[in-house]
Amino acid sequence: MIQKCKLDNCSMTRVITDNESGELVCGNCGSVLEEKLDNYNEVQAHSLEEFMSQTRTGPKSSLVMYDKGMYSVIGNDRDSTGKSLSASNKARFRRLRLWDNRSKTKHSSQRTLSKSLIYLNGLKEKLGIPQITVEVAASLYRKAMSHGLTRGRNSNSLMAATLYVSCRQTMTPRSLQDIAKVGNTTKKALQKTVRILIHELGLDVPQYNMSSFITKISNNLGINEKIKRHALNILDQAQVKQITGGKHPIGQAAASLYLAVMLNGVHVSQAQISKISGVTGVTLRTRMKTIQKALGLKLLKD
């Protein structure tokens, strides 16, 4: 590929390819001529043997894609020079395209996987899930399929369950209620599927970091940084007093934030925090009173 730099004072046509980013750079001034090429090697090779065994061209593979990004494309009815193919060759390639499309959806499991990954992408967009969490969820779903967990179960419910487990494993603060609401399923059904998934695959699912939910709830309510830090401090003191053990992390985070709001005299109602966090008003008040009594906090309304 020969490209020329657009700058007037640069007449060089020498182009440098950045193997890590896939960019084409002018060899004289360093201007980027083209970004994010797909045909660069994603692995650095330091010997001929490493190059032959590790490097490849094309985009990076992804478990979120049905074919993991290693797809085949049968082009239009033209050869490499742009000339039209003969009638017999056109019929041959038309037949090849037909069988290529049929092979991708030959089995019911393949069709289920394709639909489930589309569903997962929709959950990602609605919940703002990072890519690494989605990759882990796709990996768990493929593992669940290999263990036969998709038989007799709703594929969307199983995918939502794998996403929740993935969020727990990557410490992405999303509650069961958040995923159930967006995934058009019930919280009870989602809980049941999560338990089956953890038991059958023998997964180690850590508890959420409570402080991450304080940040999430604060951002959704538009609470300033000062109150957020105060809430984090209250939660840290509660953990030191060992009164958070066995309690729901979202409930603890919401109670700590509500206490910080009341101590700073900011007008944020209990109903607002309850609605955003998904915690009932009874749970919020109970957790708040427990923390307040243990830490000896004096509220402005007292």
Same-domain status, 165 and 230: no
Task: With respect to residue 88, please indicate whether it lies within any of the assigned structural domains.
Answer: no
pLDDT tens profile 79-126: 777 788 888 888 888 888 887 777 666 666 777 888 888 899 899 989
DSSP codes of every residue in 66-125: TTTT-------SB-TTSPBPPHHHHHHHHHHHHHHHHHHTSSHHHHHHHHHHHHHHHHHH
Same-domain status, 164 and 215: no
pLDDT for 47 beyond 70: no
Query: Sorting pLDDT into bands at 50, 70 and 90, what band is 5?
Result: low
- Write out the residue range of the structural domain in which residue 137 sits: 108-201
Same-domain status, 253 and 224: yes
Same-domain status, 182 and 232: no
State the average pLDDT for the chain: 79
CATH of the domain at 173: 1.10.472.10
What's the longest Cα–Cα distance across the chain?
Answer: 89
- The reported pLDDT for the residue numbered 40 is 46
DSSP codes of every residue in 162-187: HHHHHHHHTT----HHHHHHHTTS-H
Among 201, 226, 256, the domain-final residue is: 201
- The reported pLDDT for the residue numbered 39 is 46
What's this model's pTM, rounded to 2 decimal places? 0.63
| 160 in Cβ contact with 179 (< 8 Å) | yes
| 264 in Cβ contact with 227 (< 8 Å) | yes
Task: With respect to residue 242, please indicate whether it lies within any of the assigned structural domains.
Answer: yes
Distance in angstroms (rounded) separating the CA atoms of residues 90 and 288: 73
Among 201, 221, 236, the domain-final residue is: 201
Query: Sorting pLDDT into bands at 50, 70 and 90, what band is 76?
Result: confident
Report how many domains make up the chain.
Answer: 3
Task: With respect to residue 228, please indicate whether it lies within any of the assigned structural domains.
Answer: yes
- The reported pLDDT for the residue numbered 35 is 60
Among 20, 41, 60, the domain-final residue is: 60
- The reported pLDDT for the residue numbered 195 is 93
Same-domain status, 178 and 238: no
DSSP codes of every residue in 263-289: HTT----HHHHHHHHT--HHHHHHHHH
Same-domain status, 237 and 255: yes
Query: Sorting pLDDT into bands at 50, 70 and 90, what band is 277?
Result: confident
Same-domain status, 191 and 248: no
